[in-house]
Amino acid sequence: MLIVDAPIVTSLSNQQLNHGDRLTVSCSVSGNPLATVVWIKNGQSLNLVDKGVRIEVIQLSNEKVESVLEIVNLVRVDSGEYECRAKNSLGTASAKFLLQGSDHSSLTWTDLNTALRHPYGSHVFKVITMGRASRTDSSRYTLYLGHKISNPY
């Protein structure tokens, strides 16, 4: 006896990652006949020409397939609604998730690897201004933007 089923797609969880991170999402699909899987972003087929976007399809059995979406080095435009859509001759099923990218960049000045403190509490400042600088102020100052970006002095 041959059992036939429309596709069933496992649910996907929303993702919140930082810009620069790697996204890896697996979509498991079952159905007989075996379903084909496509990835959709914001209602449009995902552009596989984009550098850093990769989709891998792994056939686990005659009825199960897993599709893995990977985006390396997330940028702001990668945020949006993603959908794993499976289709066979008996129907279509899909699962969606939201990808929210956060820019956790923060500016921090350091003096010999010690974060400088603003005299009025927590404050981000892009320029160091010293009134009445003295010899004790001489040092190597480094500006970090989430990661080291410059060694100006």
**In this predicted structure, what is the pLDDT of residue 130?**
60
Q: Position of tokens 């010999």?
A: 112
Instruction: Give kind and range of the element (H or E) at residue 87.
Output: strand 80-88
Domains of the chain: 5-102 (2.60.40.10), 107-150 (no CATH)
**In this predicted structure, what is the pLDDT of residue 104?**
53
- Going residue by residue through the chain, which has 153 residues, state the pLDDT in tens, using 9 for 90 and above: 778 899 999 999 999 888 888 999 999 999 999 999 999 999 999 877 767 889 999 999 999 999 999 999 888 889 999 999 999 999 999 999 999 987 655 555 555 555 555 444 444 455 656 666 667 766 666 655 553 333 343
- For the whole prediction, is pTM greater than 0.75? no
**And the tokens for 114?**
């010690």
Which residues contact residue 121 at a Cβ distance below 8 angstroms, ignoring those fewer than 6 apart? none
